[in-house]
Structures are given as structure tokens and as C-alpha cells.
Amino acid sequence: MLRYRLGRESDPFYWLYNSPGWLTDYDPPRQFPFWLNIELTNRCQLDCFFCSRQTSRRPLGDMSLETARLIVTEASRYPECGLRLTGWGEPLLHPQAGEIITMIKKAGLPLKIYTNGLALTPELMDTMIEYEVDDLQFSMQGLTPEQYEFNRRKSDYGRLRANIEMASRRRGERPRPFLSILTSVLADEAAKADPEAFIDEYLTLVDKVAVDLTNLNFVSEVDRVKPFLDKQSAGLSRGLCVDVFLALEVKYDGLIQFCGQDADGLEEHSLGYVGAISLHEAWHSRKMNEQRDRVGRALGHETMSVCRNCYHNTNKYDIFKTRA
């Protein structure tokens, strides 16, 4: 479920979603990934109920400026490559977040930032305005303050709302950063509140609001989650994976992986380290191509631990139609 304030054409990536080869042109795979998903840090100030971070055993750390520079330098050689700051942590907690954002935009790369919004300061917002970050996406869960605070533990709905208002006010009528909100819901949350009313409310502040489904499959072994598993939203009837043709993931320590859902940085999903191999080599490596055959051209999801629980590219049942 998705709506725009000024129509679909206003989306900073509209040109891509409507280009002739989008989601069809896989043989051979594109020269370089369209998206590089970059984990600036795996530190986070929240303890979200649904997040795979709570099961991750990796040490905490931040990406070095040198690793960021290597990624940006290589990516800027390829047209149509965009960076998404995301991963299993809060990107704006990186101590040099502003410097890295500036570096990416000075290199001319499209940039989308996923954030829980709590560490966004007026100064950081002004940097994003000055360097025209393409898309700043605030992540939420639930459709009401109560649902949000249930899911996003240690957060404060009032503080997030104030920061979204601050971002909207400072950006004003400029086109960039395009401001988005993505919330996701469990089935009973969608039944108890009105997704359309949520979208109406937030479209007064941002340019795009999407309501998706929360997936608890990755955290099904966590004790506090177990009682809620029957209320989860994302089903598991699978479709072919498109991400293996579109994106690569880089963890904060430079580990390149073919899927970002792996919060543990496991060897079976890994392709090497930035600096030791190029992103181009990783993208065209035998391991990456084998993964494309396994889940992009066939439904071999059960054979890979990260793909078994995936909710992207599934045929999700439409919980929004069952709203009371």
C-alpha cells in the first residue's frame, strides 16, 4: 500500500522503476548492481521487537572512512548505481555520517537513507538539503503511537514525529531530499487501525507513505516474539528473488554479501572484503552467479539459511482487505 503527495513521477527513482529492463533484463546480469546497500554501523539506540539485530552475534563497529571511500570511488565509475545507507544498525549514529553523506553526493551518486529518525539533527538535515540527498526514508512500525512504541522498543513516538516535522519544515518546497515514510504492520495492527488514515495524516509532512508487512520469521526463536508469531503478516509462498540481480550488501567491516538479510555476516552468504576484491568482481563471481541460479531463476530458497525466512518476493496475503 503506497501513496505519493505529488504522484508517482515525483519519486526520485521513478525513471529506474520505469526503464525497459527493470525486473526483466537478467541475462546477462547488469554490469554493476543498481543498489549498494551499505551498513555504516551495526550500532543502534533502539531494540526493535521484529529486528534481526537482536539475534546478531557480530561485534559492534563503524565503517572506516577508507572503506567508505573505496566503495564510493568504485561505484562512481558506473552509471545508474545508487547507494542505500541501511543494514543492521542506525546509519545516522555513525560519528562521521555527515562526512560520508557529503562524500557520496559529491561523487554524484544517487543516495537513499533509511533511518529510525531519532538522531536526525537540524545540522545533519541541512547537510542533506545542501547536498541534495535523493531520498530520506523514516522507518516506523504500526499505525498508531501505541503500536509504534510496542514495536520500536526504547523509542519515543513524540520525538520521531517532531524530527519528521523539523525535516519537512527545513526542506520546505525544495524537491530534495525527497521525504518518505515506510511503516510495516502485523495483521492485527492493520485490523485495529486504518492504514489510509495513517497515510493521509503523514502525507501532510512527507512526499511518499508506504505501509508494508512486518515479518517475524527471522526472529521466530526469540522468546519475546514467540507469542506473536500467529499474528505475523508476511506469508512464505515464494517468488523468484529479484535482489540477486539488483543489489549487493556491504557490512560495516567491508564484508561484501549477496543479501543483507543476514545479520550475522555468515560465510555462506559472503563474497569477500572491500579492498581485497572489487565490488565488480564480487558481482560477477561464481558464488554470486550460483546464488542467482539458486533463488533468482529457481525456487531453491530452502537450501540457504537467509533465503528460507525471506519475505521479499513472496506472495503476501492481503491483510489490508481484512480490516475490521
Choice from 37, 41, 67, 115 touching ligand SAM (CB under 6 A): 115
Among 40, 51, 72, 288, binds ligand SAM (CB under 6 A): 51
Among 1, 46, 205, 240, binds ligand SF4 (CB under 6 A): 46
Q: Give the residue at shortest CB distance from ligand SAM.
A: 139
Select from 46-54, 180-188, 189-197, 203-211 the region that touches ligand SF4 (CB under 6 A): 46-54
To the nearest 10 degrees (0 to 180), the angle between helices 97-106 and 65-75 is: 20
Which of 89, 177 has the CB closer to ligand SF4? Answer: 89
Of the candidates 265, 113, 278, the one whose C-alpha atom is nearest the C-alpha of residue 180 is: 113
- Write down the least CB distance from residue 280 to ligand SF4, Å: 28
138 interacts with ligand SF4 by CB under 6 A: no
282: alpha, beta or left? (left if phi > 0; alpha if psi -120 to 50): alpha
How far apart are the C-alpha atoms of 269 and 249, rounded to whole Å?
10
> At closest approach, how far in Å is the CB of 90 from ligand SF4?
5
C-beta of 294: minimal distance to ligand SAM in Å? 23
CA angle centred on 230, ends 264 and 192, rounded to 5°: 110
Least distance from ligand SF4 to the Cβ atom of residue 109, Å: 23
Instruction: Check if the beta carbon of residue 44 is closer than 8 Å to that of residue 61.
Output: no
Give the separation between CA 294 and CA 303, rounded to whole angstroms: 8
Site string for ligand SAM, 139-178 (x = CB under 6 A): x---------------------------------------
Pick the closer one to ligand SAM by CB: 184 or 257: 184
Q: Please say whether the beta carbons of 190 and 323 come within 8 A.
A: yes
Matching residue, cell 555462506: 268
Subset of residues 65 to 94 that bind ligand SAM, contact rule: CB under 6 A? 86, 88, 90
Contact call for residues 87 and 38 (beta carbons, < 8 A): yes
Q: Is 216 in the site for ligand SF4 (CB under 6 A)?
A: no
The closest alpha carbon to 215, from 141, 303, 116, belongs to: 141
The answer to whether the CB of 264 falls within 8 A of the CB of 285 is no
Cα distances from 271 to residues 41, 83, 290, in angstroms, run 19, 19, 12
Residue 306 beta carbon to ligand SAM: minimum distance, rounded to whole angstroms: 13
How many residues interact with ligand SAM (rule CB under 6 A)?
A: 15
Binding-residue pattern over the window 50 to 79 for ligand SF4, x denoting contact by CB under 6 A: -x-x--------------------------
Exposed / middle / buried, residue 227 (Cβ in 10 Å: 0-12, 13-18, 19+): exposed
Determine, following the binding rule CB under 6 A, whether residue 116 of this chain makes contact with ligand SAM. Answer: yes
Q: Can you give the binding site for ligand SF4, defined by CB under 6 A? A: 44, 46, 48, 51, 53, 88-90, 116
Contacting positions for ligand SAM (CB under 6 A): 44, 50-51, 86, 88, 90, 114-116, 139, 182, 184, 214-215, 218
